[in-house]
């Protein structure tokens, strides 16, 4: 007769390739039930955005079916997102497990586009996601997410995020008139950043995606010094001037001890919709060279695409408007890589 011990022993051969350990030692196997020739159990992954979910499920099913007398396997898959925060000297954001900064060394590389679609891809996977627009002088999240409502306050004086597409959002754009210029000096900017970090009722979030202003100035430094950032994503384009600035951003995060989870090369190429010819408008290979130089994974090459631009202009990110497109799949790759890297960081704490 097959026992729970037999099931666990069989599942010890099933590895999570990202974490490099078996699913039993990772405590992913729960609630084993054996009923005649049928085995059922819960498989609890570290993120709903796990890119290897199907592989792990398939390997687990094969491992159980290798047991004598077992012909049926039922796996109920869920997730529990860990918190990979490593710092104890910074103030946590209540209810937020992980904070991911999306940064760029210069403007015009599509940083906000990546932030919006990353948040949408994570939310689509089933994660609880927030999006914080800290691009103080150029807040674009309200337009790109198709929402323009005033921020409401709780009875305790906390700001309530505005929800769209299952994502909770806060942006300075929600508290300004559309054409109002932002003429704020450094100290006021820092005050606003700290208020957005501490005085928002986010509830429970697995991931808070933070859209930073371009560059390596006060806002980024204040952010890194104020809260325990889980990690950062660097967005660049292939040409040399963008990559030089991207490398500065990488070095800045190194100095404040924030892990860079990966590099996203945006506008990597243009694929002609008529003939299918691939044109590398902004050169090629720069993201890969930067990845190799700093030992940081290049996690996606996003093409120039009209649908991505339209999604931003019309307030409906391409991950939402056209989820089956190759472009959306690239953003889902970014989401899966970010989630995997956070799980790996949690293992190394």
Band (pLDDT 50/70/90 cuts) for residue 3 is very high
- Say which DSSP state 303 is in: P
Predicted TM-score of the model (pTM): 0.90
Mean pLDDT (whole number) for 50-66: 95
Mean pLDDT (whole number) for 329-335: 94
**Domains of the chain by start residue, with CATH:** 4-79 (3.30.300.130), 99-347 (3.40.50.300)
Band (pLDDT 50/70/90 cuts) for residue 29 is very high
DSSP three-state, residue 158: coil
Please determine, for residue 151, whether its predicted confidence score (pLDDT) is greater than 90: no
Residue bearing the bigger pLDDT, 178 or 249: 249
Given a contact cutoff of 8 angstroms between Cβ atoms, the answer to whether 44 and 28 are in contact is: yes
Looking at residue 178, its pLDDT comes to 59
SS3 annotation, 169-234? EEEHHHCCCCCCCCCCCHHHHHHHHHHHHHCECCCCECEEEEECCCCCCHHHHHHHHHCCCCEEEE
Look up residue 116 and give its two tokens.
């919006």
DSSP 42-74: EEEES-TT-TTHHHHHHHHHHHHHTSTT--EEE
Rg over alpha carbons for the chain, rounded to the nearest Å, is 22
HSE, CB side, 13 Å, CA atoms: give it for residue 245: 18
């Amino acid at each position: 007769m097959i026992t729970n011990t037999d099931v666990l022993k069989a599942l010890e051969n099933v590895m999570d390739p990202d974490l490099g350990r078996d699913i039993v030692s990772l405590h992913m196997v729960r609630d084993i039930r054996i009923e005649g020739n049928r085995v059922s159990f819960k498989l609890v992954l570290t993120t709903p955005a796990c890119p290897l979910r199907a592989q792990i499920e398939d390997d687990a099913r094969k491992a159980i079916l290798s047991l004598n007398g077992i012909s049926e396997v039922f796996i109920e898959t869920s997730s529990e997102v860990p918190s990979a925060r490593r710092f104890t000297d910074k103030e946590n954001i209540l209810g937020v497990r992980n904070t991911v900064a999306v940064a760029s060394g210069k403007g015009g590389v599509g940083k906000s586009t990546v932030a919006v679609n990353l948040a949408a891809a994570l939310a689509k996977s089933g994660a609880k996601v927030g999006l914080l627009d800290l691009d103080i002088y150029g807040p674009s999240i309200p337009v790109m997410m198709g929402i323009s409502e005033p921020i409401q306050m709780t009875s305790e004086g906390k700001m309530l995020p505005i929800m769209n597409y299952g994502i909770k959002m806060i942006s300075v754009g929600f508290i300004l008139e559309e054409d109002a210029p932002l003429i704020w000096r450094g100290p006021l900017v820092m005050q606003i950043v700290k208020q957005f970090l501490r005085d928002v009722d986010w509830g429970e979030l697995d991931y808070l995606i933070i859209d930073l202003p371009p560059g390596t100035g006060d806002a980024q430094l204040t952010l890194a010094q104020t809260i325990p950032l889980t990690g950062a994503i660097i967005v660049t384009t292939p040409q040399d001037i963008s990559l030089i600035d991207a490398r500065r951003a990488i070095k800045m995060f190194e100095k404040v001890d924030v892990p860079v989870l990966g590099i996203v090369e945006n506008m990597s190429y243009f694929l002609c919709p008529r003939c299918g010819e691939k044109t590398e408008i902004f050169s090629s290979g720069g993201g890969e060279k930067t990845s190799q130089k700093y030992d940081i994974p290049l996690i996606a090459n996003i093409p120039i695409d009209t649908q991505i631009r339209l999604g931003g202009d019309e307030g409906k990110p391409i991950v939402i408007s056209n989820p089956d497109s190759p472009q959306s799949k690239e953003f889902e790759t970014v989401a899966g890589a970010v989630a995997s890297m956070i799980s790996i960081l949690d293992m190394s704490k």
